[in-house]
């Protein structure tokens, strides 16, 4: 059996090759392996290239999203993220070429062509995205050529997304999505775009979050040209190159697009987060600072921050009293979100005892290390055994993660908060912070945990 | 209007599926494999596949779902996945220590042509499979069949790898029951009925206490439930096999008959009165037992509820979408209580014979019943737009149609992402039939209450 690098108090083993992806703060020297493909045979919580592309582009609600492959890839991604739209709902339908055995043998190009033409005729979308899945990469369909052919025929942009599942990690899927999106940028008229304008990148409008954020910016006097991928519209993306600044949320998803727009259109970008009072306020101030030649923007920003913080502080204080000293474990997709969560949880008086991500890079983990207290476990691409092991050892009271993590937390008798795409209420912005605090309080202090078999006798070493 | 982009006008579509009423084979193989005790399902393909399957199963069963992946890279896709699978087997037995690994293939590994038995043999020869540990496999290319066939294939693999006939041909007094892709609660209910009849059974697969386990304060990779390897072996010397559902359970039952000479009966899923009667009757005959009074009372209670409720059911038009084995029994049940299935769609390519069975089941419905095998939920919605129904029965995705068209809705089948309870309360057997009827009547009468104005609202209904 592989020896564990961290001092184990449970009997759960760690795969030897995984040791360099686990770090306990306070143990020198720091060396974290990450960004590597998951080990064959590991029970990782990660997904594939296609998944990355699909989640990024899916909220563009007036585009057609056609998945070229066997039915599964379309079925599993059918409206599973609550990315809200204020208008068209075409993104909530699931379109698939549903490749069959004979298509795999003879190729699926014809099928793709006919499917595209029929769908575009029926639904009149503003653009179409065609996602390649694993099998398409193997049978060698020339998806780009078919897209071009259809584009010529129907006169709307038909964009191939090169998202064959095996060609990397979810991060590569983000890149493929950005590449497809970039084709749209620059096509629209920007003559009426204000010089005090931004695009919101990396915001998916889960639970209506993009609406909250957009409202702040508009109240500041900044025009939002495109929210890109949150309640997104093709025409907005097409004129997004008219914005003066790209404001990028999340660690990986949309940075590539921001970089491409910087290079081609000279639009600078800043990275922000909208989770927690501190980061949300910084995001607004950073944007205001960018437009420093208009001091009234900064003035308004100060007012907004002051009003919003004042509005939520009394209740947050109360919640903080109840949560003081409770312990949280975080396992999220992008590491950037973990930073915000750590700050937000600290604001609520909680200690973060485990912080992990599926797709963090070296710089992310260094930042995590610097932020975390001694003894905190830092994980890259963890599996359920590792997660449960450290939750036990660190006696966490709360687990923040995604869909696969929720039942693990519940089985162990601790609270859970979905900070992934299954959250149903907005957690971004100031009201989002309040929602977050309420949700954390609700689950951590729930009386139902009294029914859980005592964690002390639940497993070896569980009592510390 | 969530599905406002659905047109009422129906155009024939050849090249595409919109809003599928199925998903791909591997997830079925994964669900079946979870019904083996101490089993780690393994997806031989990209990372995304198993992440999706685990997420979908987790959302439906609300339990941790465990599986491993070969994590294909570009290299593996060019040179074959042998190295990945060998490494995976080694890693899994070292760290996760399952009793058995159940490998299923994906579109990717099938297309590049990985020979799984050969790879398993190599792992064995290399000493990567510890003694008393097993690796089995099923071929489940995603571009063939559906999640239901994937389930059937993995269940058949259990027979292929483990079932053993006694050399002397001696048979034990056990009856095998292959439950099909039903809820853990349904599997438990079927076992309970057999136990009431004092019949010793071997059920495989069996997800009771795997995907509806108790809260223990501890995360366990391998919960207590599941069919053991010893049971799977012994299935070869049972006196008979009952396969519930031709599509999900038929292949395994026939394989067991061929391999070990265990005679099989392929029945409909025991949903509703008639099909439960048949199940009980054939189980009684095979095992040579009598039906106990306790079951007769349950049956009588179901009939009692049916008569109490029948006044609300008469002539109600129902739209059904789901998996083939469930749909057939459900259709027969609804017709037997005087309801009228109007539209029936499954995404699974279940074949002509199956479609014929549905036609026969609906022969007495006083109008032409629309049936599409395989069809999708977009077409289902279009039919409803053409002429409404009084009730929709389907998985969570049918909620959108029910909402848009303002039609009472009963969640049934897989997946159910937005409610809890299906994995704990059965819909099979007499008791399951009662629960189904309660759900159906609740939906119909809740609607009546909602639509009644102050004047016509009644206390007693």
**pLDDT tens for residues B382-401?**
999 999 999 999 999 999 99
Q: What is A176-232 written as a DSSP string?
A: HHHHHHHTTTT-S--TT--SSEEEEES---BTTHHHHHHHHHHHHT-EEEE-TTSSB
Q: Enter the ipTM.
A: 0.95
Residue A251 has a pLDDT of 61
Structure tokens at B26: 């591997």
Domain B25-158: CATH superfamily is Nitrogenase molybdenum iron protein domain (3.40.50.1980)
Interface of B with A in 422-441 (CB under 8 A): none
Residue A464 has a pLDDT of 32
Pairing of strands A197-201, A223-226: parallel
Q: Which helix (H) or strand (E) holds B391?
A: strand B391-394
B22 at A interface, C-beta within 8 A? yes
Please list the rounded mean pLDDT of every run of 10 residues in chain A (464 residues): 42 72 73 72 82 93 97 94 90 95 95 96 97 94 98 97 92 94 96 97 93 97 95 97 94 88 98 94 98 97 98 97 96 84 95 88 85 88 87 94 91 92 87 96 94 61 36
Beta carbons of A43 and B96 less than 8 Å apart: yes
Contact A284, A216 (CB under 8 A): yes
Q: Which residues pair with B440 in a beta bridge?
A: none
B425 pLDDT band, cuts 50/70/90, is very high
State the Rg of chain A over Cα. Answer: 23
Q: Considering only alpha carbons, which residue of chain B is nearest residue A78?
A: B19
Domains of chain A: 16-31+315-458 (3.40.50.1980), 49-182 (3.40.50.1980), 197-309 (3.40.50.1980)
| B91 vs A42, A133, A452: nearest CB | A42
d(CA A168, CA A395) in angstroms, rounded, equals 35
B91 pLDDT band, cuts 50/70/90, is very high
> Which CATH fold topology does B174-294 show?
Rossmann fold (3.40.50)
Q: What is A218-257 written as a DSSP string?
A: HHHT-EEEE-TTSSB-HHHHHTGGG-SEEEEESSSTTHHH
B3 pLDDT band, cuts 50/70/90, is confident
Contact A392, A455 (CB under 8 A): yes
Q: Where are the domains of chain B?
A: 25-158, 174-294, 300-451
Chain B residues close to A165, C-beta within 8 Å: 45-49, 72, 108
Longest dimension (CA), chain B: 80
Name which residue leads in pLDDT, B128 or A252.
B128
Residue A35 has a pLDDT of 66
Contact A49, A163 (CB under 8 A): yes
Cis link prior to B445 (omega < 30° from 0)? no
Looking at residues B293-299, what average pLDDT do you find? 98
Q: To the nearest whole angstrom, how far is the Cα of A87 from the nearest Cα of chain B?
A: 10
| A407 vs B5, B64, B77: nearest CB | B64
Pairing of strands B264-267, B240-244: parallel
CATH code of the domain made up of B300-451: 3.40.50.1980
Q: To the nearest whole angstrom, how far is the Cα of B78 from the nearest Cα of chain A?
A: 9
Beta carbons of A80 and B55 less than 8 Å apart: yes
Looking at residues B333-361, what average pLDDT do you find? 98
C-alpha distances (whole Å) from B7 to each of A93, A115, B385 are: 12, 16, 8
Q: Considering only alpha carbons, which residue of chain B is nearest residue A140?
A: B111
Does pLDDT of B258 surpass 60? yes
Q: Considering only alpha carbons, which residue of chain A is nearest residue B57?
A: A404
Tally the residues of chain B.
461
B112 pLDDT band, cuts 50/70/90, is very high
Residue A463 has a pLDDT of 36
* CATH topology agreement for domains B25-158 and B174-294: yes
Beta carbons of A43 and B66 less than 8 Å apart: yes
d(CA A18, CA A389) in angstroms, rounded, equals 14
Residue A62 has a pLDDT of 96
Contact B80, A427 (CB under 8 A): no
d(CA B267, CA A116) in angstroms, rounded, equals 42
Residue A26 has a pLDDT of 72
Residue A10 has a pLDDT of 63
B13-65 residue pLDDT tens = 877 999 999 999 999 999 999 999 999 999 999 989 999 999 999 999 999 99
Does pLDDT of B78 surpass 90? no
Residue appearing with tokens 């208008």? A87
Does pLDDT of B198 surpass 90? yes
Q: To the nearest whole angstrom, how far is the Cα of A101 from the nearest Cα of chain B?
A: 6
B13 at A interface, C-beta within 8 A? yes
Chain A residues close to B217, C-beta within 8 Å: 411-413, 452-455, 458-459
A-interface mutation test, from B48, B102, B213, most A Cβ less than 10 A away: B48
Beta carbons of B70 and A41 less than 8 Å apart: yes
Residue A19 has a pLDDT of 78
Contact B176, B254 (CB under 8 A): no
B107 at A interface, C-beta within 8 A? yes
């Amino acid at each position: 059996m592989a020896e564990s690098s961290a001092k184990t108090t449970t009997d759960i083993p760690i795969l030897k090759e995984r040791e360099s992806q686990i770090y306990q703060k306070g143990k020198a020297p720091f060396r974290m392996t990450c960004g590597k493909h998951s080990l064959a045979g590991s029970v990782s919580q990660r997904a594939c290239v296609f998944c990355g592309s699909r989640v990024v582009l899916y909220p563009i609600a007036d585009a057609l999203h056609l998945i070229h492959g066997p039915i599964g890839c379309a079925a599993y991604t059918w409206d599973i993220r609550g990315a809200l739209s204020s208008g068209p709902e075409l993104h909530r339908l699931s379109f698939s070429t549903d490749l069959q055995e004979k298509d795999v043998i003879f190729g699926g190009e014809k099928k793709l062509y006919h499917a595209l033409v029929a769908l575009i005729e029926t639904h009149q979308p503003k653009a179409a995205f065609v996602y390649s899945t694993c099998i398409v990469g193997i049978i060698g369909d020339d998806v780009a050529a078919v897209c071009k052919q259809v584009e010529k025929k129907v006169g709307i942009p038909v964009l191939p997304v090169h998202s064959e599942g095996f060609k990397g990690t979810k991060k590569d899927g983000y890149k493929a999505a950005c590449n497809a999106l970039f084709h749209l940028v620059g096509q629209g008229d920007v003559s009426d775009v204000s010089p005090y304008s931004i695009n919101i990148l990396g915001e998916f409008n889960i639970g209506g979050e993009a609406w909250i954020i957009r409202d702040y910016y508009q109240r500041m006097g900044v025009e939002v040209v495109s929210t890109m991928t949150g309640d997104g519209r093709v025409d907005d993306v097409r004129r997004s190159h008219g914005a003066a600044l790209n404001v990028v949320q999340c660690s990986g998803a949309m940075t590539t697009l921001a970089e491409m727009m910087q290079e081609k259109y000279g639009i600078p970008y800043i990275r922000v987060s909208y989770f927690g009072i501190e980061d949300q306020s910084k995001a607004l101030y950073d944007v205001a600072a960018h437009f420093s030649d208009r001091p009234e923007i900064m003035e308004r920003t100060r007012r907004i921050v002051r009003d919003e913080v004042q509005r939520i502080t009394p209740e947050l204080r109360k919640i903080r009293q109840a949560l003081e000293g409770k312990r949280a474990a975080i396992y999220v997709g992008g590491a950037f979100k973990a930073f915000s969560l750590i700050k937000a949880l600290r604001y609520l008086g909680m200690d973060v005892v485990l912080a992990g991500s599926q797709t963090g890079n070296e710089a992310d983990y260094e930042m995590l290390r610097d932020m975390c207290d001694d003894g905190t476990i830092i994980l890259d691409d963890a599996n359920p055994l590792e997660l449960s092991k450290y939750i036990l050892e660190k006696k966490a009271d709360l687990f923040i993660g995604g869909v696969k993590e929720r039942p693990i937390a519940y089985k162990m008798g601790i609270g859970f908060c979905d900070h992934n795409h299954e959250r149903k209420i907005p957690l971004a912005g100031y009201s989002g912070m309040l929602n977050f605090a309420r949700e954390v309080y609700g689950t951590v202090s729930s009386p139902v945990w009294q029914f859980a078999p005592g964690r002390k006798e639940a497993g070896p070493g569980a009592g510390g | 209007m969530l599905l406002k982009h659905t047109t009422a006008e129906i155009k024939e579509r050849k090249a595409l599926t919109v809003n599928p009423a199925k998903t791909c084979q591997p997830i079925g193989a994964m669900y079946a494999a979870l019904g083996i005790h101490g089993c780690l399902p393994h997806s031989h393909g990209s990372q995304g596949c198993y992440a999706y399957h685990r997420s979908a199963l987790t959302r439906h069963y609300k339990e941790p779902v465990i599986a491993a992946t070969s994590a294909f890279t570009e290299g593996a896709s060019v040179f074959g996945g042998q190295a990945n699978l060998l490494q995976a087997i080694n890693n899994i037995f070292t760290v996760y220590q399952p009793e058995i690994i159940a490998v299923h293939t994906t579109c990717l590994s099938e297309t590049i042509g990985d020979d799984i038995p050969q790879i398993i043999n190599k792992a064995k020869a290399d000493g990567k499979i510890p003694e008393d540990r097993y690796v089995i496999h099923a071929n489940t290319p995603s571009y063939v069949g559906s999640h239901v066939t994937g389930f059937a294939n993995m269940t058949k693999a259990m027979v292929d790898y483990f079932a053993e006939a006694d050399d002397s041909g001696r048979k034990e007094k056990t009856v095998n029951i292959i439950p099909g892709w039903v809820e853990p609660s349904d599997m438990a209910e079927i076992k309970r009925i057999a136990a009431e009849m004092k019949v010793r059974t071997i059920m495989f697969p069996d997800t009771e206490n795997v995907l509806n386990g108790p809260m223990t304060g501890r995360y366990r990779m391998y919960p207590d439930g599941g069919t053991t390897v010893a049971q799977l072996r012994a299935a070869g010397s049972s006196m008979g096999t009952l396969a519930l559902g031709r599509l999900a359970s038929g292949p395994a039952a026939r394989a067991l008959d061929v391999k070990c000479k265990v005679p099989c009966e392929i029945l409909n899923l025991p949903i509703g009165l008639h099909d439960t009667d048949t199940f009980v009757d054939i189980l009684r005959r095979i095992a040579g037992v009598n039906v106990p009074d306790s079951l007769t009372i349950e049956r009588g209670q179901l009939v009692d509820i049916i008569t109490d409720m029948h006044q609300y059911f008469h002539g109600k038009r129902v739209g059904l979408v789901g998996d083939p084995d469930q749909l057939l029994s459900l259709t027969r049940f609804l017709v037997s209580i005087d309801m009228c299935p109007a539209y029936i769609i499954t995404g699974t390519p279940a074949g002509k014979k199956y479609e014929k069975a549905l036609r026969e089941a609906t022969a007495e419905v006083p109008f032409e019943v629309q049936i599409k095998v395989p069809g999708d939920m977009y077409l289902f919605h279009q039919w409803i737009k053409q002429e409404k129904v009084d009730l929709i029965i389907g998985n969570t995705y049918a909620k959108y149609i029910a909402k848009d068209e303002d039609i009472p809705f009963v969640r049934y089948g897989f997946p159910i992402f937005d409610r809890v309870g299906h994995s704990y309360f059965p819909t099979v057997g007499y008791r399951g039939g009662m629960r189904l009827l309660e759900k159906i009547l609740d939906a119909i009468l809740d609607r009546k209450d909602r639509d009644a104005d102050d004047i016509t609202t009644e206390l007693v209904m």
